[in-house]
A and B are shown apart, each in its own frame.
Chain A
Amino acid sequence: MTTYFNEMYDSGKVRPPYARLEDWTRSMPAELREMKQAEAEALFRRIGITFAVYGEGGDPDRLIPFDMFPRVFTSGEWARLERGIKQRARALNAFLVDVYGRGEIVRAGRIPGRLVYRNAAYEKAVVGFVPSKGVYSHVVGIDLVRTGADEFFVLEDNCRTPSGVSYMLENREIMMRMFPDLFRGNRIEPVDSYPEKLRRTLASVAPTKCERDPTIVILTPGHFNSAYYEHSFLADLMGVELVEGADLFVEGEYVFMRTTEGPKRVDVIYRRVDDDYIDPLCFRPDSMLGIPGLMDVYRSGGVSICSAPGAGVADDKAVYTYVPEMIRFYLGEEPLLKNVPTWQCSKTDDCKYVLENLHELVVKEVHGSGGYGMLVGPKSTKAEIEAYRARVEADPGNYIAQPTLALSTTPTFVDEGIAPRHVDLRPYCLVGERVELVPGGLTRVALTEGSLVVNSSQGGGVKDTWVLAE
């Protein structure tokens, strides 16, 4: 029987960061809680924050369930996490600059060249180009799980366009509106500086040809994209334009935005469009979402693109195994955050082990995301395991496996009252001239009893995440 670390109750006693929350829940009658839950839902609906769930059909405007019970870290816990997250974000960026340059880490034999250069996310088009300030990934979303009081593991890195930061901001906003007393009684680090910090980060990587206050835009695929709400939300909070591909055009050495006052030069594009679609003259010629000629402007220093094209090669699940090695290689430091031990089915021995132990492993597709196409061995039926076995055998290189981690739980409001549910954490590390992290992140919670899958696409919910001030 696996025991799970409960972040609130440790051997029957309340852990200090949760002390005040215990009083809070005790003093809240069930009717009040139900009323508050309905109020929270109404608030979310009113601001329009919804999340389309791919492949499930049904209501595209479904809300991600919000759980009012906050998840809490002490300042000491957070300080350790922060150092580890920043270290990782630095190493990932150093890796990207290296593999699009001389590839020292491959030459030194610390990572196999085939994992990097034969990777579909490796962009030949940017070889030899160093983005402004040497930054490829400007927002690094690092997914963490906790398995003990001092034990954290990195589940995966997201170097392209990690989404969900709008939930971090909205969850806090709504909690403060509904429970102002809670925030008077607890000294909680604010997260609302995130948009301004993001704006400063983007401005700090203005291209070499920009000699003025840079004009920043957010490039979205459009309103049908599941994260469109977040794109417009961030544009609003940062005070920058939200644009689609058709709003931008290339003329001469620069990119311009159509405005009512005529064309305006754009210096930094925070894009939420995938590499393949950003320029039909360089990547997919059938793309209608991109800006023809953008990559020529980019590679000649006329505009910055965040994240930089090609950043995806660092967050591939097979490359993930080597992040601790990157930290040692580029920073000369020992990793502060641990990786989850990972078996790569592309290796014969690993694959054999995985196939023999499917019932107790978590198996994922190398390029998968959002919790799709994965197997959670201990939670699957014999038939599901056998079906998955056939998929792994057919294409071993496409799969990796990890032990089923004992994800920590935090108290969560459920129909029966309050019960422990498993959680993870995604903090958003900003990398520009400086490396910054707002104290907090997005806590995702698996609302189904016993479930270890927290992805919103798989029925997970979200919580406000508190970091207590000293």
Chain B
Amino acid sequence: MGKYLIRRLLWLIPVIIVVSGITFILMHSAPGGPWDRDTTARQVDQNTQRILNEYYGLDKPLWRQYVAYVIGDFNKQGKFVCGLVCGNLGPSYRMRGLTIQQILFMPPEGKNFLYSRFGYSMRLGVFALLFAVAIGIPAGVIAALKQNTIIDYVSLFIVTIGISVPNFVMALFLIILFASTLKWVNIVPRSWDEVSVWVLPTVILGFGTMARTARLMRGSMLEVMRMDYIRTARSKGLAERVVVLRHMIKNSLIPVVTILGPALAALVTGSFIIETMFGFPGMGRAYVTAIGQRDYSMIMGTTLIYAVLIALANLSVDIVYSFLDPRIRLD
């Protein structure tokens, strides 16, 4: 197990190199640069741009910029500035004076880590996943147990909506319903300290995952229900409740766990549409903004954090697997 973990974590290194390489190439293929402004606004003059480029090393050849980002480079004073290998995600070109790690992970004065941009996104993602699991798994189990009844059809209907309607459409619909028509909540909340304002983004973000979880759980249950060992369990005189809880659900969960790991990563990272719509102070919105502004190191840094999160989520799925299914051994 320990060896396996170390090996999997070492695999992160080539993953990071490939992801950062591709991101770097794509980012620099896009026209424009960090100093460009709206054509209507006052432009940064050529001389200032030259000085800024020199200061940030953007005048150097691209390969050298890449090496500088990943490993590090000597700055103007001849001092070595360490890059990604030291955990330095680079300076932001737009929020000057701040590094990317400060922007993403540093909470406002007097608050804890959960109030950083990353913390906000993480909370929203975790809440959405909890919502998806808490509704999706029981819904799938009940639909399977009541197969071909009205309960099954209603849940299938909701599941189909959840899978086929994109979350930004769902978001608009629910905002119109709850914010404009019913006026239960503000469209953009004034403060994220209240619990009630989290409900809408959580539900919208988690809905698709909830639907996929329910559908997969239903299918998996239907398969397990027909297994010989379920008949064996009944032949031993176990109560139906025990047969379902002990013999069916644990076996049915195995395929569902497969999607939950990537789903968590996708929820923590993939919330930028929802974050933008609700004016949510998270990482996703910062990411989208950074892409528009060509804030190179911000784009690199955020992408890499996403990559690492997805890799870790998959790793944790494999670990949970080995607990659920004794036939799977990690080594």
Partners in one complex: no
